[in-house]
């Protein structure tokens, strides 16, 4: 099965236009990514660039539905980098269902006029660079992004994800929040236009800042310290 998966990815890459293949070649090898990942884990939390992201999709099924829009915001040196943000609407061959449009407010015309999906995903990979990704319910975003990258570009997802839905309860164990809205309200953050990818990414960035402050109080100094806390929280089964 691993061989078949690699062959399928190779065949997808070979079918791409030359310009897209050239951009993929500049992404770096798996070995380089592993070295970069190890270096990232040793980075001080106070300095590391992390990217909070959110995906709006054609539905809630992470194994089936596709990406409509990507929103992301960088956080570095314990501040949100408003100038270092990313937003793309991916062109859809057929617009999503009416009920879905009511949620994310991206109409059929906007979906049809979006960016070519492979180019948008390449842009996003360039934007991410070697940064760690942060998302609320990260399993959904990571799974959908993995499928899209493999189907459209023939590459695996090599980005490390941190799940706010796991990290926040570990850092604030006395709070019983479950949803992103719960955390936004409990932390006194201003209301946002929910289900817009860039707005949700910005809300996650604000929560990430609070997590970084609490992590420093708890004596966590590096990215690796925080990911170890997340792993321990998962092992204990403590996730909201």
Over residues 120-160, the pLDDT tens digits come to: 999 999 999 989 999 999 999 999 999 999 999 999 998 99
- Is residue 32, in this structure, part of any structural domain at all? no
- Is residue 52, in this structure, part of any structural domain at all? yes
Q: Which domain does 198 fall in, by range?
A: 2-19+37-236
- Is residue 213, in this structure, part of any structural domain at all? yes
pLDDT band for 103, please (50, 70, 90 cuts).
Answer: confident
Q: At what angle do helices 2-14 and 138-152 cross, to 10 degrees?
A: 60
CATH of the domain at 155: 3.30.420.10
pLDDT band for 239, please (50, 70, 90 cuts).
Answer: low
Confidence at residue 196, expressed as pLDDT on a 0 to 100 scale:
86
- Is residue 30, in this structure, part of any structural domain at all? no
Confidence at residue 202, expressed as pLDDT on a 0 to 100 scale:
95
- Is residue 26, in this structure, part of any structural domain at all? no
pTM for the structure as a whole: 0.91
- Is residue 192, in this structure, part of any structural domain at all? yes
Mean pLDDT of 69-90: 96
Round to whole Å and give the CA distance between 11 and 210.
44
Q: In sequence order, what are the beta bridge partners of 74?
A: 51, 81
- Is residue 164, in this structure, part of any structural domain at all? yes
Mean pLDDT of 107-111: 89
Instruction: Give exposure, 28-51, as e/b (b: 16+ Cβ within 10 Å).
Output: eeeeebeebeeebbebebeebbbb
Alpha-carbon Rg of the chain, whole angstroms? 18
Q: What is the DSSP letter of 96?
A: P
Number of other CB atoms surrounding residue 77 within 10 Å: 10
Tally of structural domains, the chain: 1
Q: Where are the beta strands (DSSP E) in the chain?
A: 50-57, 67-76, 79-89, 132-135, 161-163
Round to whole Å and give the CA distance between 73 and 75.
7
Confidence at residue 116, expressed as pLDDT on a 0 to 100 scale:
97
- Is residue 191, in this structure, part of any structural domain at all? yes
């Amino acid at each position: 099965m691993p061989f078949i998966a690699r062959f399928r990815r190779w065949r997808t890459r070979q079918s791409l236009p030359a310009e897209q293949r050239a951009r993929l070649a500049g992404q770096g090898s798996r070995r380089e990514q592993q070295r970069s990942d190890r270096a990232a884990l040793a980075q001080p939390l106070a300095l590391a660039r992390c990217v909070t992201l959110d995906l709006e999709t054609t539905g809630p099924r992470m194994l089936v539905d596709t990406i409509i829009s990507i929103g992301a915001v960088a956080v570095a040196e314990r501040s949100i980098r408003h100038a270092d943000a990313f937003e793309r609407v991916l062109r859809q061959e057929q617009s999503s269902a009416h009920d879905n449009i009511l949620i994310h407010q991206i109409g059929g015309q906007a979906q049809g006029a979006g960016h070519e999906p492979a180019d948008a995903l390449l842009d996003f990979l360039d934007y991410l660079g070697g940064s760690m990704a942060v998302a609320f319910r990260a399993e959904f975003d990571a799974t959908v992004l993995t499928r899209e990258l493999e189907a459209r570009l023939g590459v695996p997802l090599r980005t490390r994800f941190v799940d706010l839905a796991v990290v926040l309860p570990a850092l604030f164990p006395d709070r019983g929040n479950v949803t992103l809205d719960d955390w936004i309200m409990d932390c006194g953050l201003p209301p946002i236009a929910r289900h817009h990818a860039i707005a949700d990414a910005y809300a996650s960035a604000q929560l990430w800042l609070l997590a970084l402050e609490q992590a420093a109080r708890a004596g966590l100094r590096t990215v690796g310290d925080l990911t170890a806390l997340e792993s321990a929280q998962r092992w204990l089964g403590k996730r909201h």
